[in-house]
Amino acid sequence: MEGLKINPWEVSSEIKEQDYPKLIKEFGAKLIDDKLLDRLKKITGDLHPFLTSRLFFAHRDLDVVLDDYSKGNEFYLYTGRGPSGKMHLGHLLPFIFTKWLQDKFDVDLLIQITDDEKYLVKDISMDEIRKNTQDNILDILSLGFNKERTHIIVDSEQSKILYNNAIMFAKKLTASTAKAVFGLKDSDNVGKYFFTSMQAVPAFLLSAIKGRNVRCLIPYGIDQDDHFKIARDILPKLGYYKPSAIISKLMPSLQGTGKMSSSDPNSAIFLDDDEETVKKKINKYAFSGGRDTKEEQRKYGANPDVDFAFNMYRALEPDQGKVSRAYADYKSGKILSGEMKAMSSDAINKFLSGLRERKEQIKGHVGEYMFDVNRFKD
């Protein structure tokens, strides 16, 4: 894996599908095998397309969470968002999956908005971050999260409880570990050194508040693994469970390489892109798994798994029967790239328009989703 970089602040654009199992082995996590999928399905009734498509493909101690859950012990979910800009589809996919987990298991979900980190690592003003924070929260909530069990932690709003717990964590984390794991340098600011402690807190916060151990399951992209690997080392030293993880590949990028990026408007589909823009982006920029000509496509068929349009269709089309048929037909050459793109644009536009509708309904209710420590006191 020489030269491949994948950590919270840097991702090589050359990560290929076949690299993932090797990365996971190197990181010390496990692949989600068919047995574990079956076990999940027994509880959840069906499997989310992100599981069957292996977008969420690896885990740490997911089996332990399920063992505990089957004994009647609740766990909770924790995920997050760094509000560095407006959100695109790639940002939203992990939340779609997290919502599915929450709905299936009926558990609490902490969503950490790391406005402090964005301030520390980016050349961006707090005013801009505040605006992004408000917009991002609304975008996330427009997925329709359970109001009773969804708790948004904006770091700067909850810095009291976060900091007071973060120093427990920070006491166990040396600068040399922070350097080795994150590639921090002496020239980096001391806030960056400390921040990983703030990001670790939600992984044990409910245990800290309740005064008894509650398991935490964290869905995250593989690029965030370093943060939580450290958390798994340190939490037992504080008397808490190691957090469990369900880990995704990098979210599919419009142009097929690396992550979607907020800084390049054509590298991603933004949540506020209108129907025509979506169509144009899919037609013009979407990485295709189809053949170069109509004839070749009819003859050899496409590779749907690397096809952005198909992947979005699979992610967003509610009728998974249709998706299976499209997969078969696209692969066999019965469907051409242009048709796949049209189906995908439609699914994306339907999804975005649903988001926009729910967004309007949710405006004015955002406060009801904000983390309140008193709701967790037994």
- Write the CB contacts of 16 (distance below 8 Å, at least 6 apart in sequence): none
CB nearer a copy of itself, residue 162 or residue 205: 162
- Residue 191 is a binding residue for a copy of itself (CB under 8 A): yes
CB nearer a copy of itself, residue 199 or residue 345: 199
Please report, as residue ranges, which positions from 75 to 104 form the binding site for a copy of itself (by CB under 8 A): none
String of contacts with a copy of itself for each residue 111-150, x by CB under 8 A: -----x--xx------------------------------
Q: Which of 12, 44, 134, 159 binds a copy of itself (CB under 8 A)?
A: 159
Closest CB 6 distance from a copy of itself, rounded Å: 22
Torsion angles phi and psi, residue 55, rounded to 5: -70, -50
**Distance between CA 113 and CA 46 in Å, rounded?**
30
Residue 98 burial (CB count, 10 A): 25
Tokens of 157: 């709003």
Determine contact, residues 169/205, Cβ cutoff 8 Å. Answer: no
Piece of 24-32, 68-76, 187-195, 245-253 that binds a copy of itself (CB under 8 A): 187-195
Q: Which of 25, 131, 147, 171 binds a copy of itself (CB under 8 A)?
A: 171
CB nearer a copy of itself, residue 159 or residue 303: 159
Determine contact, residues 240/210, Cβ cutoff 8 Å. Answer: no
Q: Looking at the DSSP assignment, which residues form a beta bridge with residue 338?
A: none
Tokens of 51: 């599981």
Closest CB 77 distance from a copy of itself, rounded Å: 25
CB nearer a copy of itself, residue 191 or residue 265: 191
**Distance between CA 369 and CA 378 in Å, rounded?**
19
Piece of 43-51, 134-142, 164-172, 370-378 that binds a copy of itself (CB under 8 A): 164-172
Torsion angles phi and psi, residue 329, rounded to 5: -70, -35
Q: Which of 172, 280, 358, 359 binds a copy of itself (CB under 8 A)?
A: 172
# binding residues, a copy of itself (CB under 8 A):
34
- Write the CB contacts of 160 (distance below 8 Å, at least 6 apart in sequence): none
**Distance between CA 259 and CA 271 in Å, rounded?**
16
Q: Which of 3, 35, 45, 176 binds a copy of itself (CB under 8 A)?
A: 176
Determine contact, residues 255/228, Cβ cutoff 8 Å. Answer: no
Piece of 69-77, 183-191, 215-223, 321-329 that binds a copy of itself (CB under 8 A): 183-191
Residue with token string 């808490």: 240
CB nearer a copy of itself, residue 65 or residue 184: 184
Q: Which of 13, 70, 174, 361 binds a copy of itself (CB under 8 A)?
A: 174
CB nearer a copy of itself, residue 190 or residue 263: 190
Closest CB 120 distance from a copy of itself, rounded Å: 6
CA-CA-CA-CA torsion for 48, 318, 262, 264, nearest 10 degrees?
Answer: 120
Within 13 Å of residue 342, how many CA atoms lie on the same side as its CB?
Answer: 5
With b meaning 16 or more CB within 10 Å and e meaning fewer, what string describes 278-315? bbebbeebbebbbbeeeeebeeebbebeebbbbbbbbb
List interacting residues with a copy of itself (CB under 8 A). 116, 119-120, 156, 158-160, 162-164, 166-168, 170-176, 178-179, 184-191, 193-194, 196-197
